[in-house]
Amino acid sequence: MPDRFDPGAQLRFSPMTRRAFLIGGSALGASLALYGGTWARHDLQVTHRQVAIQDLPDAFVGFRLVQLSDIHLVEYTEPWFLVDAVKRINELNPDLVLLTGDFVSRGPLSDPTAWHAAGVAAEILSTLKAPQRFGVLGNHDVGVGSQHVIAPLEAHGTPMLVDSYVALERGHDRIWLCGTDDAGMRTPDLNLAVPKLPDVPVILMVHEPDYVDTVVQHPRFPMIDLMLSGHTHGGQVRLPFAGPMVLPPMGRKYVEGAFQFGHMQLYVNRGLGTVGLPMRLNCPPEITHITLTRGTPGASGEDLTEKT
């Protein structure tokens, strides 16, 4: 006959051995690395936002633009993943695509590898169907030699804005699109990047988001309505309760998402690729889909995030 259960008896547990603990910890670490390096790194999401701009011209109410940043081909972004991102962007059917830097990676592979990757990226981006697209340089692009990145992109129909601006026109209306040189490796000149006395809204592309602290102190700041940046990868690996493990210089204050500076909004895209390690955790890659509306600055909102 079995012993009767004694509710007062103490439960006995076998203590975990050091070896079992190390094996369990190693297995958990390996599982997280596999998850972050495969599924999570390719869990591409589309973030939809509305951005309100005062005095937006009639023709640009409802104007839709897509931001893609930090491609980092081919280390560690595979060409097929960029092809997939372009397909997703084409399905959105935007009016404009903006590419906010770091088309390639500097190191640990050789610079010639990055130069070749720039050509591959340029060819894939040439399949974007939006009526217009423009880009700016990132710190990795400058690090491997900016002309090696600019030349193939422009040869395949992606104009690059380096301390320069261009008018976007719809009928009789227009807005200004501006882009700086890379703020991490060089010193942008906002006097060249932004029109002196623009009479219409201004969108500014700067790779590094923390450069916004310089922008808001500049005399041209009142002219700028929207600033778009990347660079941070959103932190890339974000641990619960601890946040991003590593953040790059000039990407440590404004890590991801929207920030308001008076009349101007800054949006920081999490990027497509990765650096350092081919993995992401709690920080999926992002395509940002922005719709311009006329309204009070700051009355902007995130609608939803779509997963692949």
Q: What is the pLDDT along the chain (308 residues), one digit of tens a residue?
A: 444 444 444 433 334 444 443 333 333 344 344 444 567 999 999 999 999 999 999 999 999 999 999 999 999 999 999 999 999 999 999 999 999 999 999 988 899 999 999 999 999 999 999 999 999 999 999 999 999 999 999 999 999 999 999 999 999 999 999 999 999 999 999 999 999 999 999 999 999 999 999 999 999 999 999 999 999 999 999 998 889 989 999 999 999 999 999 999 999 999 999 999 999 999 999 999 999 999 998 865 655 566 55
CB atoms within 10 A of CB 13: 6
Amino acid at 116: H
Q: Is 258 exposed, middle or buried (0-12, 13-18, 19+ CB in 10 A)?
A: middle
The token duo for 112 is 């010639």
* Per-residue burial over 133-165, b = 16 or more CB atoms within 10 Å of its CB, e = otherwise: bbbbbbbbbbbbebebbbbbbeeeebebbbbbb
Q: Is the dihedral of CA 274, 275, 278, 283 positive or negative?
A: negative
Domains observed in the chain: 18-307 (3.60.21.10)
User: Which token pair is 69?
Assistant: 């940043």
- pTM for this entry: 0.88
